A = this chain, B = another copy of it.
Amino acid sequence: MKYLHTMVRVRNLEKSLHFYCDLLGLQEVRRYDSEQGKFTLVFVAAKGDEHAPLELTYNWDDQTYDEGRNFGHVAYQVENIYELCQRLLDAGVTINRPPRDGHMAFVRSPDNISIELLQAGESLPTAEPWASMENTGHW
C-alpha cells in the first residue's frame, strides 16, 4: 500500500496555479486534459517531493465548491515561514493564523482549502509584524 495524492477541486485553474505555484512555491509535475470528461488534472508538488503531490481537479463546467469540516488541511514544511507569509501577504492572501510563534501559520487557497505551513527545524525568533498580528477567520 502506498500513498498517492490528496485531491482538491478548483474553480479557476489560473488563480489556483498562481496560488499553489507562484506564491506557495509548489511546482507543476504532471497534467492531464480530458476533452471527453471536460476536466483538467494538474499535479503540483514541492521540489524533490514528487511522490506526494496535490492533485488539482478543474472541471471545465462552471462550478462552485462548498467547504466542509471533515477535511482539515494539507500541511507543508517550509524553509522560512516569515518570507513565505510575506510573499503571500504582498499578493493579497490573508494569513488566517499568522506565524506569531515563528513556527506555524495557516492560509487558505482560492477555494478555501486550508494550508498549514510549518517552519523547518527550530522555530524562528519571534518578529514583527507577525508577533502582534491577530487571527482572521478560521482555517
Q: Does A131 contact B (CB under 8 A)?
A: no
Q: How many Å lie between the Cα of A49 and that of B4 in the bound state?
A: 10
Contact A8 B75 (CB under 8 A): no
Q: A113 — which chain B residues lie within 8 A by C-beta?
A: 70-71
How many of these chains are in the complex? 2
Least Cβ–Cβ distance between A106 and chain B, in angstroms: 11
Q: Are A72 and B1 in contact (CB under 8 A)?
A: no
Q: State whether A70 touches B112 (Cβ < 8 A).
A: yes
Given contacts A68-B65, A71-B113, A73-B7, contact A26 B1 (CB under 8 A): yes
Cα separation A8 to B114 with both chains bound (whole Å)? 11
Judged by a CB distance under 8 angstroms, whether A30 is at the interface is: no
Q: List chain A positions with a Cβ less than 8 A from chain B.
A: 1-9, 24-26, 45-47, 49, 51-52, 54-55, 57, 65-79, 111-113, 116, 118, 120
